[in-house]
A and B are shown apart, each in its own frame.
Chain A
Amino acid sequence: MEPILDVKNLTMDFGGIRALDHLSLQIKPGEIVALIGPNGAGKTTFFNCITGIYKPTKGDLLLNPPGKKTKKLNGLKPNKVTEQGLARTFQNIRLFPNMTVLENVMIGRHCRTKSKIFGAIFRDPRTKKEEKEIVEQSLEILKKINLDKMADEYAKNLPYGAQRRLEIARALATEPIVLLLDEPAAGMNPQETQELDELITKIRDEGLAILLIEHDMKLVMNISDHIFVVDYGKKIAEGSPEEIGKNPDVIKAYLGEDI
């Protein structure tokens, strides 16, 4: 099957440091793909490069939306990348702390809605309808991740695990075709991680492709269809969870960390 996201030879230099070195990665539709590697391997940098937040030194980013022409994402601004269908969460949570939970999700709807200043001032029927839809759809998403009870709470007042889930909700609101999750289980207790496992699987079953950075190996081994391992910005292995679990290079890279 044709990959939905095809990253070829992605390279990123910071001054003299090469954080990513000709890294290639493919995600097929409906797959959960994990990107793992030791601290500082370049995983987050990879996300930043494909979402347009950093400008990669080299490499190609191709998106194949189902039923549409292939899109090149190179050089697009982050908001354009999101419009094309790539949405992400952040490793160090970046919610809008002084907005409500619901508003956080409503911001996600921004790129799929249109009303302008004129509509905002005059509140014509179209704008009103759009606003109503934004609220409804956002509540719908909040229900899915079990945060609808907290809709009017300020984002900063949520417990840590809930903030991580809210980030996912906000990303979902942009109607992505590929969802990028940067360490979604970090700081969660076993029960929360279990719920997250179910949530990610549910999102996949709805047809999204998911790229997951995660240090929790149990979660990774449990839900991924395919795993890429990076170290020092280079790909050192890829394969199914079983293959990766047995790969001596991976074990060496992780020496000292339990796998």
Chain B
Amino acid sequence: MDYFIELFFSGLTRGSIYALIALGYTMVYGIIGLINFAHGEIYMIGAFTALIVSTVLTIYGFPLLAVIVLTALAAVIWAASYGYTIERLAYRPLRSAPRLSPLISAIGMSIFLQNYVLLAQTSDFQPFPALIPEFDFMEPYAHIVGSSDLAILVVSAIVMILLTFMIKFTRTGKAMRATAQDRKMAMLVGINVDNVISITFITGSALAAIGGLLIASHIGQINFYIGFIAGIKAFTAAVLGGIGSIPGAVLGSFILGLTEAFATGYVSSDYEDVFAFSLLVLILIFKPAGLLGKATVEKV
């Protein structure tokens, strides 16, 4: 039973990380209909920035709390800046181009960023400091759920609630939803669509950075390649839930996280990635609209 609960929590942890990344995919897709291939790299860059900043701050003797806060801030700021820049540079000029063009550009961006980090830093795995401390009150349960699991769950829950709030109730959120529904119409009623798109990228990137920071601190090591696999898995989750749908992305992420946790725990961990990829292929073939997505008819 303990094992089951342990797997359950590890599934939830995975799920929340996937959700933090999947939200970015789904928001961007909802608004400009593009699979932002480079999104996984944003997550990786978030994690790397966190590693660099936290190491520097620790070396210069900052107290732990300051290190945590500043590191999180830096990761979010830089990841968001990368997200913003990528959109401006690689996607915006292609808004009216054939559909494949921005996608190819996104793939190029993803490869570029991976190799940029590889060259700028290193190709080896880097140890990542455990930023999340062990909580004393968690000690009795440490064998089934770790402190960092708990922290990840709590932080992602808070972030997701904030995001929902922003999208539901703020002006920006309303503008986002309007743009997602009909870009031309939104433009006609005076919404600055360019800004909305930029904000979407910034928000999505910030979420991914938080995910990157949390998971890196949880697992304890990172390299330039972590974004690729995590990106595809999060994308799978987004598609599973119904791409374009925000609750769908969260639901899909938890389903993927839990199934992965149980499959690797009870079956075999060799085929962990095969499993996720196969799931992706199967959903797209049998239910491309996803669990919460709506099937639409292209207007002719």
Contacts and interface: CB of A to CB of B under 8 A. Distances in A.
A216 B294 CA distance: 37
A15 B297 CA distance: 10
B300 A44 contact: yes
A90 B297 contact: no
A14 B300 contact: no
B185 to A, nearest CB: 14
A90 B300 CA distance: 8
A64 interface: no
Contacts of A48: 300
Interface of A: 14-15, 44, 48, 53-54, 90
Interface residues of B, number: 3
A27 B101 CA distance: 43
Nearest to B295: A15
A10 B294 CA distance: 24
Contacts of A14: 297
A93 to B, nearest CB: 12
A41 B52 CA distance: 61
A14 B300 CA distance: 13
The 3 closest A-B CB pairs, nearest first, are A48-B300, A53-B300, A54-B297
Nearest to A12: B297
Contacts of B297: 14, 54
8 contacts: A14-B297, A15-B294, A44-B300, A48-B300, A53-B300, A54-B297, A54-B300, A90-B300
A162 B297 CA distance: 30
Contacts of A15: 294
Nearest to A54: B297
Contacts of B300: 44, 48, 53-54, 90
Given A15-B294, A53-B300, A54-B297, 5 more contacts: A14-B297, A44-B300, A48-B300, A54-B300, A90-B300
